[in-house]
Structure 1
Amino acid sequence: MRFNWNFDYIKGSKIAYIFSIILTVVGIISVLSLGLNYAVDFRSGSNVDITVSKAFTTEQINPIVNELGVDTSEVQITTGSDRVNIRFSNVLDENQESKFKQEFTKLDATASYEVNTVDPEMAKELERNAIYAVLIASIGIMIYVAIRFEWRFALAAVVSIFHDAFVVISVFSIFRLEVNLTFITAVLTIVGFSINDTIVIFDRIRENLRFAKKSTKADLREVVNHSLAQTMTRSLNTTFTVFIASLCLFIFGGESIRMFSLAMVIGTFFGAYSSIFIAAPLWFTLKGKQVNKPKTVAKETN
């Protein structure tokens, strides 16, 4: 039995617009006031990842960190059943690394270490390149959609993908979640997933426009609602599959891909939401202005 997806999505988009505007404003305030919780990938410092044979508490590790002569106020220690992660705001030199390993080995002789260090210049370059990657991808998508469809489709698509990317960034800023290189990978993946879903909807709208009457906004409204109803099952099935896979990776995956998985969980949901309630209705709004324009009638001259 097939579900009937015939709803007035354009009417529902008004609530979606309000929700998205509120979320965007909150996100802007959070990003401007709190910023992002950058991992060592995007700010200078050293990140020590230790695989251990037993669980340790922060209290057991603090004395070792205190002996290194670093600023302990910005040292972040994360412990788990088989892993300890310590992030230093300053770059550890060879002597400090050696001393740390020597002291920690007294707690766990079988521990293995992975030390990642990023200097200030490299951190700035990585942050700059990440921004460029998102912008270039968005511009490329806009050009592709404009060529394949029209500029209204392109504008609606880019607004939609910027919305998805910024929602994920906002959530990570509000809840102080760590932003690392895998997070940027997730954002670019979300952009690709979102535009794929949007293109499918736009393609159906364009196909239906060929055989539909489109002299009034009501005609366009019917085309958009009908196109969304036709693609709804496909959109939800794809979204649900990716969402469940990302959720399983977040729950059962390793620490190294946890933030990637969480970003995918959030972005997958909002990618489907924006394609249905933002991209298509925004195209309808832009196209509706063209329909409402009075047609000029050439005056007969004597």
Structure 2
Amino acid sequence: MSSTRKKLYRVQTDFDFTGLWRWMMLVSAAATVVSVVVISIWGLNLSIDFKGGAVWEVPSKHISSDQAEQVLESFDKLGGAKIQRITDAEGTSILRVQATAAKDISESNEIRQALADAANSSAPDDAQIDVTDIGTNTIGPSWGKSITRDAVRALIVFFIVIAGYMAWTLEWRMAVSGLLAVAHDVLITVGIYAIARFEVTPATVISILTILGFSLYDTIVVYDRVRENAAKYDPSGKYTYNAIMRRSLNQVIMRSVNTSMVAILPPLAIFIVGGLMFGQPTMMDFSLALIIGLAIGVYSSIGVAAPMLVWLKEREPAYSRVRSRARARGIEAEADHIPKVDSWEVGVVPEGATRRRETAKVGAVERSVDQAATTAELAQKYDRAVPPRPRKQGKKR
């Protein structure tokens, strides 16, 4: 383990996070503006679950994408179509045909029959499929509107409940800055989907709602340590809230990074195995949003939630007076920086204490050796294994 990693794990680092906040906030602001503009102009690539349509899964390797396109074109349903080859868990090759223009069940059944005929036209006799082998799912536009409404409602309820919880357990300034960071994470994640034209499915919505919890967890870890340090350093009146936040981030940075890395591993495995190797679109949709959101959540807990809270707290009268006094005395830099935590606080024995401990051990060993030598001399003198006890004065043996 390198010396830097050792210092990180022993909380002996003193990174100047506050010096990075300006650049991190600029990056976040730019990403947020771009996300809003792209979502407003381009919109999202919604799946048929939101727009309505039909999906057919043809379990045959003898039908090509071109044949499927010809079938859809014959029914004038090629607009907005999506065709991809996937493999199920049993290794069967499936052609997944999706058309947002097909919203009528009877017409969907006709297309289903046409796809079966197209697959059988180029398949040998032992690979013929029946029309019932083709899985089909037709979704009306009303259902898509319903789940969109439910997702927005769940998001609003989440924000209300979390705002109340954080205001009650921590304070309202932490609730405001924490929710702004969560909104930042969701907005940029959705913006990435809009820019890359990733398809938004119900699995994507579930992932985004899951992101809210993970992002908030990282932020609360930081805020809880800030609260502890504020109680420790506030009575002195020497340090600004900026200094308390800097010290707190140095103490929890490795915990946040390690927790987030462990959290990212499962969705990454789902994305690689389920999405890339087996071509399961639902797994890919779910895991991709999680990976993006978790990565942004680590960034926002340091670069958005922390500076937002400092900006709010520094406007409190108590911390405003601390900064004014430090500025008047010319010691503002010292007030913005708490010295590194003492190594005693993290279980590391200082060098001087180590020398004293070693000296004490040597002294104890020497005394033990001297005592053993004295006992051996007395035993030899009295020709006994254990020498007699010295008698007390005034008493006869």
| TM-score normalised to structure 2 length | 0.69
Identify the structure with bigger relative contact order (alpha carbons < 8 Å, sequence gap 6+).
Answer: 1
Q: In structure 2, what is the equivalent of residue 299 of structure 1?
A: none
SS of the equivalent of 1:78 reads: strand
Q: Which residue is 1:179 aligned to?
A: 200
Of residues 199, 205, 226, the one that matches 2:226 is 205
The 1:216–1:16 alpha-carbon spacing in structure 2 relative to 1, beyond 3 Å, is farther
Task: Report whether the alignment pairs 1:258 with 2:284.
Answer: yes
Cα deviation digits, residues 3-45 of structure 1 (max 9, x gap): 3342111221111110011111111110000001111111122
Q: Which runs of 5+ in 1 are unaligned?
A: 296-302
Alpha-carbon shift at residue 227 of structure 1 (Å): 1.0
* CA distance, structure 2, for counterparts of residue 144 and residue 56 of structure 1: 55
User: Is residue 3 from structure 1 mapped to residue 3 from structure 2 by the alignment?
Assistant: no
For residue 108 of structure 2, what is the amino acid of its counterpart?
Answer: E
Contact between 2:103 and 2:140, CA under 8 Å: does it hold in 1? Answer: no
Residue 22 (structure 2) aligns with: 14
Are residue 129 (structure 1) and residue 150 (structure 2) matched?
yes
Q: How many Å apart are 1:230 and its aligned residue? A: 1.2
Q: For residues 134 and 205 of structure 2, what CA distance do their matches in structure 1 show? A: 25
Name the residue aligned to 1:273.
Answer: 299
CA distances 1:28-79 after superposition (whole Å, capped 9, x unpaired): 110000001111111122223x152427532121122223x23322222223
Contact 2:79 2:101 in 1 (8 A): no
> Are 1:57 and 2:64 counterparts?
yes
Aligned length: 293
Instruction: Report the 3-state secondary structure (helix = DSSP H, G, I; strand = E; otherwise coil) of the residue aligned with 1:153.
Output: helix
* Equivalent residue for 2:73, pick from 66, 75, 86: 66
For 1:1-302, list aligned pairs within 5 A: 1=1, 2-4=6-8, 5-48=13-56, 50=57, 52-54=59-61, 56-67=63-74, 69-80=75-86, 82-106=93-117, 107=119, 109-110=128-129, 112-213=133-234, 218-253=239-274, 254-290=280-316, 291=318, 293=320
**Native 8 Å contact 1:228 1:276 kept in 2:** yes
Task: Call closer, same or farther: CA 1:86–1:214 in 2, change over 3 Å.
Answer: farther
Task: Give the drift of 1:114.
Answer: 3.1
Contact 2:60 2:95 in 1 (8 A): no
Between the aligned partners of 1:270 and 1:21, the Cα distance in structure 2 is 13
Deviation at 1:176, TM superposition (A): 0.8
Gaps of 5+ in 2: 88-92, 121-127, 275-279, 323-397
Quick one: distance in 2 between partners of 1:248 and 1:17?
A: 31
C-alpha distance in structure 2 between counterparts of 1:240 and 1:55, whole Å? 43
Work out the CA distance in 1 between the residues paired with 2:273 and 2:190. 23
Matched position secondary structure for 1:84:
strand
Identity %: 29
Conserved? CA contact 1:65–1:100, under 8 Å: yes
Moved more, 185-194 or 214-223: 214-223
Structure 1 residues 271, 226: CA separation in 2 closer, same or farther (over 3 Å shift)?
same
* Corresponding letter in the other structure for 2:40: L
How far apart, CA to CA, are the structure 2 residues paired with 1:102 and 1:45?
17
CA, structure 1 residues 199+292, in 2 after alignment: closer, same or farther (shift >3 Å)? closer
